A = this chain, B = another copy of it.
Amino acid sequence: MRIGEVAAKAGVSVRALRYYEQQGLLHSTRNPGGQRQYPAGAVERVRTIQRLYSAGLPSRTIREILPFADSGEASPELLELLAAERDRLDRQMTDLRDARNRLDDCITEARRQGPHRPCLPAGALNGEEAVQRQAPTPVQ
């Protein structure tokens, strides 16, 4: 496959694919004319890269993870890296879930025409003391 086809199938821009290659995330061979050639699996690999990016991993972390994804073997250092990233994802998920639930509370509360109980800790604006909202935030 050539680069345009890969880009279309993976739903990313041609520019992004060249960028991935520059970052060492995606490899290609060249045909006699100098154009990039990709195997079929490249599309799935690009999707994986996209997922990892959208998980907030920087490209250098992805670069360290991907070779392992290829071989299925992990050095102890890589295991540490993976565990650290997994923990980071856990923390971020908790934050996201929390934020989501707060927003969700806001929405349902407001739809119910409920009273004006503030949904997020706002912080006093005019010298008022902070509201002690220790609500039992519904996690999960």
Q: Which residues of B contact A79 (CB under 8 A)?
A: 107, 110-111
Cβ contact within 8 Å between B123 and A42:
yes
Partner of A107 from the list B26, B47, B55, B86 (CB cut-off 8 Å) is B86
Q: Which residues of B contact A98 (CB under 8 A)?
A: 51
Cβ contact within 8 Å between A40 and B104:
no
Q: State the main secondary structure of chain A at its contact with B.
A: helix
Task: Assign chain A's interface to a size class.
Answer: 35 or more
Given contacts A41-B123, A118-B69, A121-B44, contact A89 B96 (CB under 8 A): yes
Is A54 in the interface zone, CB < 8 Å from B? Answer: yes
Cβ contact within 8 Å between B100 and A82:
no
Q: Which residues of B contact A135 (CB under 8 A)?
A: none
| A90: min CB distance to chain B, Å | 7
Known A-B contacts: A44-B122, A74-B110, A83-B107. Give 17 more (CB < 8 A).
A27-B125, A39-B128, A39-B130, A41-B123, A41-B124, A41-B129, A42-B123, A42-B124, A47-B121, A54-B92, A55-B95, A69-B106, A69-B121, A69-B122, A73-B116, A82-B103, A82-B107
Q: Which 4 A-B pairs have the closest CB atoms?
A: A45-B123, A41-B130, A41-B124, A69-B120
